[in-house]
Amino acid sequence: MIISIASGKGGTGKTTVAVNLALSLHNVQFLDCDVEEPNAHLFLKPEIHSQNIATIPIPQVDEALCDYCGKCREICAYNAIAIFPGKENARGSVLVFPHLCHGCGGCSLFCPRSAISEIPREIGIIEQGYSGDIEFIHGKLNIGEIMSPPLIRQVKAYTNPEKTVIIDSPPGTSCPVIGSVRGSDFCILVTEPTPFGLYDMTLAVEVLEKLRIPFGVVINRSTIGNRSIDEYCRIKNIPILMHIPFEREIASLYSQGIPFVREKNEYRKKFHDIVRLSEIQQMVYRK
């Protein structure tokens, strides 16, 4: 089963829930898909066994073959190629803007003179290891890099369906989030009971409805703010999976990188129950 953790608003406790859930279950694979700001390793402290460079293919033009016909520029939907045709005796030139390239391969596929090949461009790294018996994988986007979705796809390629796969996703509602949560059997939305938490959660709910992923809600810092999330979930018939009260002890453990189930054992059962609840929700959803 694949369970993803998402939120809409940032800083509501996705990583906290993902990590503590992972520690409460057996046979777990943990994928940290928040490749812009991965944090789960700070809590799970995995021993890293392998590092792989993540790349996307970008075009390389062999100017000996190129006649500056402009087909590649015409094909490229991202304006990642510019062409300066030759004038009289001067040769032309082709410029590739690697940061704009999505790696679709169209330019090399359609070049009439087969002058374009593809070379890998590094966008980040993927690290794999173990934290106890949890298999751990995360991606780290390089600084200044904008292409997080391909890196997220590459992290998710490690998914092992034999295990309970827990995916920690980035905040928001756009492409990086979609890339992380799609294909999950169930999604846990983590929010906080404030108007910010509520508004951003309604956006996340729309995303999950669009992707047809069954989901439930964890209300974090449930004792601060108001009752708006409980109300919203009641009206929309969304299951509330857990309330985590605001406690200085939990906040302090978090600040030190200690998953709170290590100190508060009673929560292991609660996290375990979330999975059983999610199985029921999935059955209901399929009907």
**Is the Cβ of residue 10 or residue 86 nearer to other proteins in the bound state?**
10
Q: How far is the CB of 55 from other proteins (least distance, A)?
A: 13
242 binds other proteins (CB under 8 A): no
Residue 237 CB coordination number (10 Å): 6
- What separation in angstroms does the CA of 270 have from each of 6, 25, 215? 19, 11, 17
Q: Which stretch binds other proteins (CB under 8 A): 88-96, 147-155, 156-164, 266-274?
A: 147-155
How many chain residues are in contact with other proteins, going by CB under 8 A?
A: 62
Q: Which stretch binds other proteins (CB under 8 A): 85-93, 145-153, 161-169, 260-268?
A: 145-153
Q: Which of left, alpha, beta for 271 (phi over 0: left; psi -120 to 50: alpha)? A: alpha
In angstroms, the CA 118 to CA 138 distance is: 26
Own/partner long-range contacts of 151-154 (Cβ < 8 Å, ≥24 apart):
151/35, 151/54, 151/123, 151/124, 151/126, 152/33, 152/35, 152/176, 152/179, 152/180, 153/179, 154/54, 154/126
84 binds other proteins (CB under 8 A): no
The structure tokens 């934290």 sit at 131
Quote the tokens at residue 257. Answer: 């990188």
Quote the tokens at residue 145. Answer: 């890099």
**Is the Cβ of residue 201 or residue 275 nearer to other proteins in the bound state?**
201
Q: Which stretch binds other proteins (CB under 8 A): 83-91, 130-138, 158-166, 193-201?
A: 193-201
**Is the Cβ of residue 38 or residue 216 nearer to other proteins in the bound state?**
38
In angstroms, the CA 103 to CA 149 distance is: 12
Q: How far is the CB of 89 from other proteins (least distance, A)?
A: 32
**Is the Cβ of residue 76 or residue 115 nearer to other proteins in the bound state?**
76
Residue 283 CB coordination number (10 Å): 10
Q: Which of 20, 29, 131, 148 binds other proteins (CB under 8 A)?
A: 148
Q: Which of 64, 88, 144, 276 binds other proteins (CB under 8 A)?
A: 144
Residues 119-138, one symbol each (x = binds other proteins by CB under 8 A, - = not), give --------------------
36 binds other proteins (CB under 8 A): yes
39 binds other proteins (CB under 8 A): yes
222 binds other proteins (CB under 8 A): no
Rg of the chain (C-alpha set): 23
The structure tokens 């298999």 sit at 135
- What separation in angstroms does the CA of 101 have from each of 49, 82, 122, 247, 272? 31, 12, 12, 46, 43
Report the interface residues with other proteins, using CB under 8 A: 7-12, 15, 36-37, 39, 42-43, 75, 77-78, 102-106, 109-110, 141, 143-149, 170-178, 182, 192, 194-196, 199-200, 203, 206-207, 210-211, 221, 224-226, 248, 251-252, 254-257
